[in-house]
Copies of this chain bind each other. A is one copy, B any other.
Amino acid sequence: MGITIYDLAREAGVGIGTVSRCLNNHPSVAAHTRAKVLAAAKRMSYQPHAHAQRLASRRTNSISAIIPYFTNYFFLQVLQGVQDRASELGFDLILYGVNNPSDVEYYLRRSLQRGRVDGVLFFSMKFPESYASKFPQMNLPLVLVDTFHPAFDSLRVKNREGARLATEHLIRLGHRRIAMLNASLNTLPSVERLEGYRDAMAAAGLPSATDLEFSSAIGGQDGFNRQSGRESMRSLLEKVRGGHSCTAAFVASDIQALGALEIAREQGVAVPGDLALIGFDDIELAEHADLTTMRQPLSEMGRLSMDRLVARLQGASLPPMLKEFTPELVVRRSSGALPPPGGKSTDRAGSRPTMIAAS
């Protein structure tokens, strides 16, 4: 019910082996033979059968991406990079979105099935130890993105350094009492961002202020959400009214920072006037909210993770690689480093921020 290489072979007056070679750009085919076959293929509008190819060649030309909560800007950007690059390389991307924890193992098992995919991209979740041996065993390449395991390639953001840079920005602006509004400390990024914050405080000789460290895991996604930001901000403002001084806050993610901004607005606290704020991620909303933040090279991470996977596919038998990305400070108004919006704004398509490359 479809044209096969047998039809082409007959049409072109050659053997099926030759047809296959022509179609796959195998070098040892006479130029005129190739021309003849390709002409026939075009004439009959031949289309290879993907699964027959895959069965015979033992390569699927597809990879799976196992990715949490994928209605989230962070993942989306990374995914965009992955899909872009995959498409360029002729790979199909099978998307496995994790909505509850049990999905993870299901998708891992499915990906491990013989011959289903050539490789796996695993995002932002703790990689289950029980599967660590299965990938090498099945000889299936695995690349971790925004998470880490010693046995596999990982691409990560330098959370600690990013947090340090963010905090230093506030310190440079003259703040001494700086709060940290964090997500769940059960996640590695939160822990690392807390460390970076403390690093910067200590390095500046500022009194460690654990009384100004807040963390909330409320509202799902390990506290990386708006509600959690609201909650932490409320706690902070309460303490401030209770007599603690505090003039700035570093928030573990932009989405939490947006929640924090809402509370500030509700309670009449001016940002950056009364309280300077800096976030982390540079999600799209950050620009709209004029939020100073740390930008992560999201889609670039996606592209590079795909490249790494392909390198593995091609047999590179290197030791596990850890590639780390340093976030970049993006200065907007919420941190108080920029003058308030003034006069006639020449429109620069959404007020382009001042960039300061992070060392």
| Interfacial residues, chain A to chain B (CB-CB below 8 A) | 2, 47-52, 54-55, 60, 62, 70-71, 73, 76-77, 79-80, 83-84, 87, 92-97, 99, 103, 112-116, 219, 226-227, 230-231, 234, 258-259, 262, 265-266, 285, 288-289, 341, 345, 347, 349-350
Contact = CB atoms under 8 A, between A and B. Distances in A.
A96 B231 CA distance: 39
Q: Please indicate which of the listed interface residues A51, A103, A219, A226 has the most CB atoms of chain B within 10 Å of its own CB.
A: A51
A129 to B, nearest CB: 18
A77 B76 CA distance: 11
A8 to B, nearest CB: 13
A262 B288 CA distance: 7
Contacts of A112: 47
Contact of A94 (B93, B115, B266): B93
A99 B84 contact: yes
B62 A70 contact: no
Nearest to A57: B51
Nearest to A64: B92
14 contacts: A49-B114, A51-B115, A55-B55, A70-B79, A71-B80, A73-B73, A83-B97, A84-B99, A94-B95, A95-B95, A226-B288, A227-B349, A266-B345, A288-B289
Contacts of A71: 73, 76-77, 80
A347 B230 contact: yes
A259 B285 CA distance: 11
Contacts of A288: 226, 258, 262, 285, 289
A116 B50 contact: yes
Given A52-B115, A87-B96, 9 more contacts: A48-B114, A70-B79, A83-B96, A94-B95, A230-B349, A230-B350, A266-B341, A285-B288, A288-B289
A114 B349 contact: no
A97 B84 contact: yes
A344 to B, nearest CB: 9
Q: Please indicate which of the listed interface residues A230, A234, A288 has the most CB atoms of chain B within 10 Å of its own CB.
A: A288
A114 B341 CA distance: 58
B234 A47 contact: no
A346 to B, nearest CB: 11
Contacts of A234: 347
Nearest to A299: B71
A52 B95 CA distance: 21
A234 B114 CA distance: 58
Nearest to A65: B95
Given A49-B55, A55-B55, A76-B76, A350 B70 contact: no
Contacts of A96: 83, 87
A172 B349 CA distance: 34
